[in-house]
Amino acid sequence: MLEIRDLHASINGKEILKGVNLTVRDGEVHALMGQNGAGKSTLSNIIVGHPAYEVTEGSIIFNGQDLLAMAPEERAHAGIFLSFQQPVEIPGVSMNNFMRAALNAKRKAQGLDPIPATEFLKLMRERRKIVELDSKLANRSVNEGFSGGEKKRNEIFQMAMLEPTFAILDETDSGLDVDALRIVAEGFNKLRKPETSALVITHYQRLLDYLRPDIIHVLIGGQIVHTGGPEVATMIEQGGFDQFINPTPNPQK
């Protein structure tokens, strides 16, 4: 599905990623863990094509396509979705109009006609339930005046509407209370299919307890320094990230 090779990237001339290699196969959920500033969000921003980041070396192949040559909207049409760490408020644009524009743009790229109005409203109703979002949401402006938890649930709701094949969850658990975290995680699990994959960025094990990733990567200093199974999350919870910085961890620590 997604193949990242020797990726180097910088922002404002400062190199953040220094040779990242990562392969995600169909149906896999990967987690990416690491300290603040390690480059986790940079990596997710580059995958979705944020214009502020510059790729200086390396490649990303998504289902055989050269992802780095595609515009952000083309990547979205190809099936890539980012649940933003800080969802943007867009005053004056209603969730309804926003979702309709997004859905129809994707349909257009697939050569389909715009979705009929009744079908669209039905879809909105159905998918809203997955993350228990209020029905008033449709007429509210995108993320405007939403609580932190509502914003994150709204991200998963949009994911449910757009049905991506590869989703990135960038610290979707940050700022959530236990109940909201459960709703978001369960919502995500409901959307999982054998052919969809995800990359989950988080600091904490709690979200991973729900999502049960197949593979966990540790990103430190712009490189993936360790890759393993679910046990890596426990190692981090107990021993912090230092054990990966120092290749021979001190068991007394």
Q: How far is the CB of 157 from other proteins (least distance, A)?
A: 12
Residues 130-189 that bind other proteins (CB under 8 A): 141, 158, 162
The answer to the question of residue 106 lying near other proteins (CB under 8 A) is yes
> 């921003």: which residue's tokens?
45
- Tell me the closest approach of the beta carbon of residue 78 to other proteins, in angstroms: 10
Shortest CB 18 distance to other proteins, Å: 25
How many of the chain's residues bind other proteins (CB under 8 A)? Answer: 31
Q: Which stretch binds other proteins (CB under 8 A): 80-88, 183-191, 209-217, 222-230?
A: 80-88
Figure out which of the listed residues 76, 130, 137, 233 binds other proteins, where binding follows CB under 8 A: 76
- Distance in Å, CB of 36 to other proteins, minimum: 20
Among 69, 101, 112, 245, binds other proteins (CB under 8 A): 101
**Beta strands 65-66 and 141-142, pairing class:** unpaired
102 binds other proteins (CB under 8 A): yes
| Rounded Cα gap, residues 73 and 236, in angstroms | 36
- What residue ranges in the chain does DSSP mark as E strands? 2-11, 14-24, 29-33, 53-62, 65-66, 80-83, 90-94, 141-142, 166-170, 197-201, 215-220, 223-228
87 lines the binding site for other proteins (CB under 8 A)? yes
Closest CA to 90 of 151, 159, 134: 151
**CA distance to 131, 145, 202, 216, per residue, from 173 (Å):** 14, 19, 7, 17
Residue 35 contacts residue 218 (beta carbons within 8 Å)? no
Q: Which stretches of the chain bind other proteins, using CB under 8 A?
A: 48-51, 71-73, 75-77, 81-82, 84, 87-93, 97-98, 101-103, 105-106, 109, 141, 158, 162
